[in-house]
Amino acid sequence: MDLFTPLELPGGTTLPNRLAKAAMEESFAAQPGQLPDERMERLYARWARGGAGLVITGNVMVDRRALTSPGTVVLDEHSPLEPFRRWAAAAASGDARVWMQINHPGRQVGSDMPGTAWAPSAVPISLGKHTRRFAHPTAMTEADIEATIARFALTAGRAEEAGFHGVQVHAAHGYLLSQFLSPLVNRRTDRWGGSLDNRVRMLTDTVAAVRARVSAGFAIGVKLNAADFQRGGFDSEEAAQVITALDGLGVDLVELSGGTVESPASMGHTTDQRTLEREAYFLSLAEHLLETATVPLMLTGGITRRATAEKALARGVAVVGMASALALRPDLPERWRAGEDVRVDVPRLGWRDRSLAAAGTLALVRFQLDRLAQGREPRSRVSPRWIFTADSLRHRRRVRAYGAWLAHEPTSGTPGTAP
């Protein structure tokens, strides 16, 4: 099977090839409104020309009170749709299908952020000396859970109205839906916790609500951890059962990734001492999941070479996702299509403090995305410490701007009908 063979997904969507631009958090939201602007349009127009068959946006928040960062885009019942229409049009200006990743951070919210920090149970993030960087979460009530499911569905419906071809429900990397799956974070004793059948309910009810809200031809993907890489946490055996639970809910593609903020496996680090592949970090786990999966699987994590992408495809993966590589070489798929054996050297920070190294790596990626959004070329030789410091200062300014906006905007508890 060739990387550039089209793929028809279960719901009828056809991807023009097997390469995907996976989600990266851009942190470009414009104020007022936490909206996409011309920078996002330029960035996604660049990827539209890059040759990937599927383009997945950085995460878009379903609740304006809960953001992964102060620069994150929000799409809720109060958001004007025109900026999203322009964003979708720019991203779809090539041949790719364009999906919006929709997300709720749950407890992975900074302690400096206004708004809410929710979790299945009031279990705080544990990061040693960095623990104080995160808010102490509040356990969600039944009403909170039901309202959040409704928010996911509303955001998906509005994404379709704006011109996106699908959504990806984010249930990985330690965000809210992933927290419900985790026995370490989800300590509930009601119908939302305990057994895996209960812990998966938040995800399956969310997917069902999204499918009921959108048209039959609108694609739905799910991003799922192959494992959390934490002792006693969500692991590959449970991931296999979750994929089976998604069968029959109208899911077109499950993307496999791994890790949480406490164990950033998606950046090559784990806390349970398991060794990851040098590229295609989660391929060995994916092979296990492929044995029982009834939905096409997409693999993301450290893929930078064509040979690695072809290896994943040969093992049975349907779609190969790339993230940081496309921040440095946005036309990498097109180069491969032209027969060029191009690879990308993605920097990995060797800082002793792994939490800071993970944050520094994200800052480096955002720096490259910002250059692309300005119409400039990525810059390979930069000072990581300078970039990290500048990113931290920018973060503080954005927190103030977000707080000022949130204080004067409606924040209804349950989403109503979109205007």
Q: How far apart are CA 225 and CA 257, in angstroms?
A: 5
Instruction: Determine the distance from the C-alpha atom of residue 151 to the mean position of all C-alpha atoms in its chain, rounded to a whole number.
Output: 17
Please list the alpha-helical segments (H only) found in 98-254. 142-162, 176-181, 196-199, 201-213, 236-246
pLDDT beneath 50: ranges in the chain: 267, 269-276, 416-419
Taking alpha carbons only, the member of 160, 170, 208 closest to residue 61 is 170
Q: Do residues 167 and 221 lie in contact, with contact meaning Cβ atoms separated by under 8 Å?
A: yes
Q: How far apart are CA 133 and CA 127, in angstroms?
A: 9
Q: How far apart are CA 34 and CA 398, in angstroms?
A: 10
Residue 27 is predicted with a pLDDT of 93
Q: How far apart are CA 225 and CA 240, in angstroms?
A: 10
Q: Reduced to 3 DSSP states, what percent helix, strand and coil does the chain have, rounded to the nearest 5?
A: 35, 15, 50
Residue 417 is predicted with a pLDDT of 39
Q: How far apart are CA 281 and CA 352, in angstroms?
A: 21
Concatenating the DSSP letter of every residue in 68-91 gives SSTT--B-STTS-SHHHHHHHHHH
Domains of the chain and any CATH numbers: 7-407 (3.20.20.70)
Structure tokens at 293: 């999966």
Strands 297-300 and 253-257: parallel
Q: How far apart are CA 86 and CA 397, in angstroms?
A: 26
Q: How far apart are CA 169 and CA 153, in angstroms?
A: 10
Q: Residue 209 contacts by C-beta under 8 Å, 6 or more apart in sequence?
A: 149, 150, 152, 153
Residue 102 is predicted with a pLDDT of 98
| Cα separations in angstroms, 108 against 57, 261, 416 | 19, 8, 26
Residue 277 is predicted with a pLDDT of 53
Q: How far apart are CA 269 and CA 418, in angstroms?
A: 41
